[in-house]
Chains A and B, each alone.
Chain A
Amino acid sequence: MLLWFITKFYSLIQALHSKDSPRQIALGFAMGTLAGWAPFNVLYSGFILFLLYMLNVNMGFGLLGVLIASILAFLLDPIAGLLGHWVLLDVPFLQPLWTFLFNLPIVPYTRFNNTVMLGSVLIALVLFVPIYFGIRFGVNRYRASWHDKVEQWRFVKWIRNSRLFLWFLHVREY
């Protein structure tokens, strides 16, 4: 478990140092937050994670986005609830849409008719763009200013040179 965390942490650093473009990293993180903001739902969260797998985005930052957004979602739940309530009940022109979706097969299993669920998704969608651009800006700044310094960290060097880590990378290739 410890090894997994270490390798994941290193993979984040490695991603920042890899050939992945800032766009891929930022898109992965933003997509992760889409899944993280909302309460877990098999269909919705599964679909987002499926996209993370299928699209050419950075998986490590995607999972980091899920983790961070899930933690912060506790704070946003009351706002999400109010927003979802307002959107579901107090916006007249959307009523036909919700009714239509409610009557579709399978769609109700997404729990879109739940106030917190819909509010969280809407917040996630709204925050998606600033998060994407923010992360992309951050990665660019990192690569310009911090890249060489981090490479010199004793911890990074220790991990990179450890036999266990090399074995893990070797196994992962297969």
Chain B
Amino acid sequence: MRWRYFIPFIVVFSGLLIAALTIDWWMKWTFESAGSYAAGARVDIERLHVSYFPLALHMGHLEITNPNLPMTNIVEIDKVDFDLDTRALLEKKWVINQVALEGISVNTPRARSGVLAHSKNKTPKSELTKELEAGLSHEWLDVQELLPKIEIPKAENLEALKAYEKAKSDLVELQKKWADVIKGKPFDADMKTVQKEVASLQETHIGKISSPQDLAKIQAAINNAQAVIVHAQALSQKVSDQRKVLDADMARVSGLPGAIKAAADRDCQRLIARFSLKSLPQFNFGTAYLMPSIQKWVLPLTSRLETALYYKKKLAIPSASKLHGRDRGEDIFFETEHTYPKFWVKSVVISGRGKQGEFVKGSVTDVASDQKFVGKPMVASIEAEHLLHSDMKVLLSFSHADSSVFSLTVSGVPLSKKKLSGSDKQHVDLESGVFGFSTKAQIMDGVLTSDTVLAVAPLEVESYGFNADTWSADSILADVLGSIHRLDVSLKVSGPFKSLHMGIETNVDNVFKFALDKAVQKRLDQAKADVLKQSDHVIADKQKEVDRLVVEQRSKLGAWIGAQQKQVNALKLHVYQQKNQYDKQLKDHKKQAKATAKKQGKRAARKLLKKSF
């Protein structure tokens, strides 16, 4: 044995001892250096302590700088504790009994700049990096561009509006026609004739009936009265005929609203067809209105991933292991006597509060490289609340054993104010609203099954400036959006990862159909109300006038006819009385003549008879 070679070992062990005593310092330096390298900006740890019994790491006030905003921290954590299992570590197993992250806050200001000194000398971007970045541009759907694609018919092309205009012109025409009819006083001439006849009938004086010629006069008067009655009846028939024409016109007016409604129904069907999602492949309600802020982050990330995978495949970039000099071999794992997986975090506890009152707390238990050693699934549960928006809550749970089950529920997220459409005359603002979504996913044997439900309620739409044109596309869209109370989109994804099948079930189509129907119906009702209001007014006025005229004329005529009839009857009675009196006188004269003849002879009788007539 060459004992003098022990000297280096003593030096080495002394160094190790010093290192052990100063481990807090160099661990702090290591974490800060490695963290800064990984983050691309300063990572600061105020204090760090390593304890050996039990083996634990305690960090106080960890700050990670935002590389894009050197005076802002991405995240700041008041306290970070790691509690490690020493025995498992000797068996090359990383078992962490508990990780506690307390007082997490994000986007906090820094006291000093977090720019790294060496970060200014960045290496120039490679062609591939530039190409990848160039491929990340994403075209956002613009509502202004989207609206023309919806192809809402112009107001002048709506059948309902044409029917409405025709009804209006018909009503004006009829109004003018009946105004002319009434102004022309069509029955006045006939009425005057009848009046004259009746007057002349009244002036007829028969006088004392004393001879058979007087009876002829009476007969002529009766004939005149009957002729007046016939004339009056003819006049009444003329009025009835005119009334029939009026009734026909009224029936025509009554049919106008029905014609408008039929046309409006056809318009509605056309509008609904325009709004059908099937005919609008580019129209994504969520993309356009609901989740702009989420998409701003998510879509570039997914796009980045897709682009990276595409270029990796295209350029056949080998994996890191193939670039290594020596064959790395394969690690074979044997049964272990202890229930330790290779890596196991028994518990992670987090809690934090944001500047605006956001509060988040959660725990993750039993994160392991091989869950069968743990004997229970990994369960993660995070709950977040926003104090300013007390309705907003985020609940995330995840469990993983033989299969992974994810569950994420986000509710009450306030939507930011968004200008939907704007011009000098018309504005539609999505004032506010909330949305929430719930997703459940399960991965079993590499097969994913997920069900996501997105709900939006309610969209408060503020619209103004639409009075100029109630049938404009923006006006209808504003009404449609304003009347939507809840939109549900159920996204189902299933299948192995290489060939996922996706299906969407949504009530957006029905809700749009319903809302559109309602919006159009509102306008149609208004149009019908306008038409009916006008037609009812005109018809009622005219009908009242005609009725009054007919009743008045009939009344007058009836009175005249009755009076004349009465006079005729009186005359008849008078005539019959005169006749009876005459007959009695004649009978008396005959009786006297017979008596005289009996007394004075036939000659005297004949003289008497002659005298009597």
Contact = CB atoms under 8 A, between A and B. Distances in A.
Contact of A81 (B2, B325, B327, B338): B327
Contact of A98 (B1, B2, B5, B334): B334
Interface footprint category on B: 20 to 34
A108 B327 contact: no
Contact of B326 (A53, A106, A116): A116
Contacts of B2: 53-54, 56
B180 interface: no
A45 interface: no
Contacts of B327: 77-78, 80-81, 116
Contact of A116 (B8, B328, B336): B328
B332 A109 contact: no
Contacts of B91: 103-105, 108
A95 B325 CA distance: 30
A117 interface: yes
Interface stretch (A6-14, A83-91, A160-168): A83-91
A54 B91 CA distance: 28
Contacts of A84: 329
A115 B90 CA distance: 22
B326 A115 contact: no
Contact of B338 (A54, A88, A103): A103
Contacts of B325: 74
Given A54-B5, A56-B1, A106-B90, A81 B330 contact: yes
A98 B333 CA distance: 9
Contacts of A56: 1-2
Nearest to B327: A77
Nearest to B337: A103
B19 to A, nearest CB: 15
A81 B1 contact: no
B329 A114 contact: yes
Interface in B301-346: 325-338
B90 A103 contact: no
Contacts of A99: 334-335
B270 interface: no
A116 B2 CA distance: 33
Contacts of B87: 105
Interface in B67-96: 87, 90-92
A73 B5 CA distance: 29
Interface residues of A, number: 32
Contacts of B331: 111, 113-115
Nearest to B325: A74
A113 B334 contact: yes
A115 B330 contact: yes
Interface string A25-63: 000000000000001000000000000011110000000
A102 interface: yes
A104 B335 CA distance: 12
Contacts of A77: 326-327, 329
Contacts of B329: 39, 77, 80-81, 84, 114-117, 119
A54 B1 contact: yes
Given A74-B326, A115-B329, A105 B90 contact: yes
Interface in B1-46: 1-2, 5, 8
Contacts of B336: 102-103
B93 to A, nearest CB: 8
Interface in B242-277: none
A114 B326 CA distance: 13
B8 to A, nearest CB: 8
A29 B458 CA distance: 82
Contacts of A73: 326
A72 B328 CA distance: 16
Contacts of B92: 106, 108-109
B14 to A, nearest CB: 17
Interface centre among B325, B328, B334, by most chain A C-beta atoms within 10 angstroms, is: B334
A116 B331 CA distance: 9
Given A74-B326, A77-B327, A81-B327, A113 B5 contact: no
Contact of A88 (B8, B332, B337): B332
A35 to B, nearest CB: 14
Interface in B335-394: 335-338
Given A103-B91, A105-B91, A108-B92, A115 B1 contact: no
B332 A115 contact: yes
Interface centre among B5, B325, B330, by most chain A C-beta atoms within 10 angstroms, is: B330
Nearest to B93: A108
A47 to B, nearest CB: 13
Nearest to B329: A116
A88 B333 CA distance: 10
A95 B333 CA distance: 11
Nearest to B342: A108
10 contacts: A54-B2, A78-B327, A81-B327, A103-B336, A103-B338, A105-B87, A105-B91, A113-B331, A113-B332, A115-B332
Interface of B: 1-2, 5, 8, 87, 90-92, 325-338
Given A39-B329, A53-B5, A54-B5, 18 more contacts: A74-B325, A77-B326, A78-B327, A81-B329, A84-B329, A98-B332, A98-B334, A99-B335, A102-B335, A102-B336, A103-B336, A103-B338, A105-B87, A105-B91, A108-B91, A111-B331, A115-B332, A116-B330
Interface of A: 39, 53-56, 73-74, 77-78, 80-81, 84-85, 88-89, 95, 98-99, 102-106, 108-109, 111, 113-117, 119
